[in-house]
């Protein structure tokens, strides 16, 4: 949540923060069907990402990865804790990279926002958010998460470049 701004922005930020806190805890919705390792099907995550924009799933030597965009901002979903087939995973990180920014921009984001974590990796500013998928997540929870992530990326772009 951004501090010291309009009441509307405070309410939106607070709602996003509460949603993020709820979504980092394993979902217990009836429609969530955990996989054999207790994780969430990466196809469910892909469908939720596709609901916000274009998204493609690829398998790499490190496991499944989604490359996507929402509100014209590219991001990646990196999975971990996956079963041998790479279908069900217990964790994921949502990550977007920003160019032409400095450490001060990352520090400012972290001071003003509770959603997402910003840090520098070489000359790139990374904004990420870790999510537990253990216990399975419902389609509704994944859609809400992707909606929240889209909001965070949009706000980051506005803060960094406007």
| pLDDT, tens digit, 9 for 90 and up, residues 55-104 | 999 998 889 999 999 989 999 999 999 999 999 999 999 999 999 999 99
Reduced to 3 states (helix: H, G, I; strand: E, B; else coil), residue 52 is coil
Residues 6+ away with beta carbon under 8 Å from 89: 39, 40, 42, 63, 64, 79, 80, 81, 82, 83, 133
Q: What distances in angstroms separate CA 148 from CA 36, 75, 103, 143, 145, one per listed residue?
A: 28, 13, 24, 9, 5
Q: Are 109 and 2 in contact (CB under 8 A)?
A: no
Q: What proportions of the chain, in percent to the nearest 5, are helix, strand and coil?
A: 35, 30, 30
- Domain 7-161, second-level architecture: 2-Layer Sandwich (3.30)
Question: What is the residue extent of each domain of the chain?
Answer: 7-161
Half-sphere exposure of 17 (CA within 13 A, CB side): 13
| Predicted local confidence at residue 3, as pLDDT | 42
Listed in order, strand segments (DSSP E) in the chain are 40-41, 55-60, 63-70, 73-82, 88-98, 117-121, 124-132
Q: With cut-offs at 50, 70 and 90, classify the pLDDT of residue 31.
A: low
User: What are the residues facing 130 on neighbouring strands?
Assistant: 93
Quote the pTM value.
0.79
CA distance 127 to 161: 14
Q: What is the mean pLDDT of the chain?
A: 85
CA distance 75 to 66: 8
- Please determine, for residue 15, whether its predicted confidence score (pLDDT) is greater than 80: no
Over residues 135-147, mean pLDDT:
95
| Predicted local confidence at residue 8, as pLDDT | 52
- Please determine, for residue 33, whether its predicted confidence score (pLDDT) is greater than 50: yes
């Amino acid at each position: 949540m951004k501090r010291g701004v309009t009441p509307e922005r405070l309410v939106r930020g607070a709602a996003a923060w509460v949603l993020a806190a709820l979504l980092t805890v394993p979902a217990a919705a009836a429609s969530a069907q955990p996989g054999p390792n207790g994780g969430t099907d990466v196809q469910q995550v892909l469908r939720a990402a596709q609901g916000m924009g274009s998204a493609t799933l690829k398998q790499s030597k490190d496991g499944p990865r989604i490359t996507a965009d929402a509100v014209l901002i590219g991001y990646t979903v990196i999975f971990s804790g996956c079963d041998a087939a790479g279908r069900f995973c217990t964790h994921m990180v949502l990550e977007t990279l920003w160019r032409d920014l400095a450490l001060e921009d990352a520090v400012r984001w972290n001071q003003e926002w509770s959603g997402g974590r910003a840090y520098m990796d070489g000359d790139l500013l990374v904004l990420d958010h870790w999510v537990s998928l253990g216990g399975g997540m419902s389609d509704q929870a994944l859609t809400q998460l992707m909606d929240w992530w889209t909001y965070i990326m949009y706000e980051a772009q506005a803060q960094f470049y406007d």
